[in-house]
Structure 1
Amino acid sequence: MSEGLRERKKQQTRRRIRDVATALFVERGFEHVTIAEVAAAAEVSVNTVYNYFQTKEDLVLPPDEASPHRLADIVRRRPAGQAAVPAVLEHLRAEVRRRDRKMGLTEGFGRVLEMMRAAPTLTARLGDLGQQMTDELAAVLAEETGAAPGDPLPRMVAWHIGGFHALVYAEIGKRTAAGDSADDIAPAVLELLDVFEDLLGERLLTYAPRKDRPCSE
């Protein structure tokens, strides 16, 4: 079996396990479904489930989609000359326009959201995730700008970015719970981002422009 085919089969297995788990969690509640039941429904072993997902929570919030590195990675990857805040705004707009799964702009997400809100371990993980994203972003901004230890500016900018990032998800969640479709939600979220950008001052919008990087990066 070629490496490419093997990798595709692994991704198919991973997707099937997650889809089966999500359906069970939505039907019965996150806390009322065991890993063994997920494995049986997906027709794999318990060990196979754990090979793809280290924890039960990862089945709903996989690290590749719900990563504490998300905001820091967006900022690290911005092109030369672009400041941090515009980079995140641009990235979020692109995700909303293409109805990215990470944004929850997919059919059936409303029931998934209800399931997540009813599970204390998932809501706690989301809260921790938001704090971790902001903290890591602050560290990246401090490093890139050469901020002195104790300088509050990188943390304040990271807090603003983390705030509008969380606001986008809150807006999507609210509208999803109200029964709005992804096609109705997306324009409203884009408008929300426009309003937020209009409210920001020049200092925030121009903070931490990325410098040219060596070609070896």
Structure 2
Amino acid sequence: MTKEPEAREAAALPLRERKKRAMRQRISDVATGLFLADGFDDVTVADVARAAEVSVMTVFNYFPRKEDLFLDRTPQAIELFTGAVRLRGPNESPLGALRHLALELIDQRHPLSAVDDDFPAFWRIVIASPALRARAREAVEEVEDALARALAETDSGSADPAFAAALIVAAYRSAYVTTARRLLAGEAAEALVDDHRTRVCATFDALEAALR
């Protein structure tokens, strides 16, 4: 299996930045463990800081809001999706680059791919918390806005960047949510991989037709 996209990028970062990312990940991992054990609403930022052996201020330096401790993949989603568009090959379309990324994430069972047996526990906590659900909706909007900017900067196609980004994010979310619901219903991730891959490919086929 190939290394995850963020792992490849991290290897090229300066040592200081790698240490910052490692600290951010450690705090997030500690927080996630506490949220899974005790519930999101019953764990405070002070609890997370104490368990991670850092100050509350350090936690907030990495995560502006408590919700971001659990929904910590938003910056990475923005980086991956906008990076796919900005760094695509000279003969590759934005949708082609995003399709390639989506399939790569599935192959890696990446958290942004929807196919992993660990996901139901994560999403049950999100579903149970109004604050997390609200933050998740905001995160989708943040990804959409960032993708629109990347498309505006790099794509000379005729589609309006904001419209294209909204359509792409909505379509990807639809494929993701369909598989997530099946996982929540008790189906095994490995049994859904091929179907999810087919759905993602069909999603991008439809986007190609819609945005042509």
TM-score scaled by structure 2?
A: 0.77
Work out the number of aligned pairs and report it: 198
Aligned to 1:103: 113
Partner of 1:76: 86
TM-aligned CA distance change 1:23 to 1:160, over 3 Å: same
Cα distance, 1:106–1:145 mapped onto 2, change above 3 Å: closer
How far did residue 87 of structure 1 move? 1.6
Aligned to 1:132: 142
Task: Report the equivalent of 2:169.
Answer: 162
| Residue 46 (structure 1) shift | 2.2
Q: 1:201 to 1:51 in 2, by over 3 A?
A: closer
Q: Deviations over 1:104-143 (max 9, x none)?
A: 5444221111001122222112212222322333343334
> Which sections of structure 1, spanning at least 5 residues, go unmatched?
208-217
Is the 1:99–1:182 contact (alpha carbons within 8 Å) kept by the matching residues of 2? no
Of 171, 174, 189, 1:182 maps to: 189
Distance 2:64 2:125 in 1: 20
More helix by share: 2
User: Of 122, 127, 138, which residue of structure 2 is paired with 1:117?
Assistant: 127
Label 1:10 to 1:129 Cα distance change in 2 as closer, same or farther (>3 A). Answer: closer
Identical aligned pairs, as a percentage? Answer: 33
1:93, CA displacement in angstroms?
0.7
* 8 Å CA contact 1:65, 1:102 repeated in 2: no
Which whole-Å CA distance do the structure 2 matches of 1:73 and 1:31 have between them? 34
Q: Contact (CA 8 Å) 2:168, 2:207: kept in 1 or not?
A: no
Aligned match of 2:44: 34
Q: Which has the higher contact order (CA 8 A, sep 6+)?
A: 1
Mapped pair 1:93 → 2:103: yes
What is the Cα-based RMSD across aligned positions, in Å? 2.9
Aligned partners of 1:75 and 1:88 also within 8 Å: yes
Between structure 1 and structure 2, the one with the greater Rg is 1
Matches of 1:143 and 1:11, distance apart in 2: 27
Q: Report deviation, 1:145.
A: 4.4
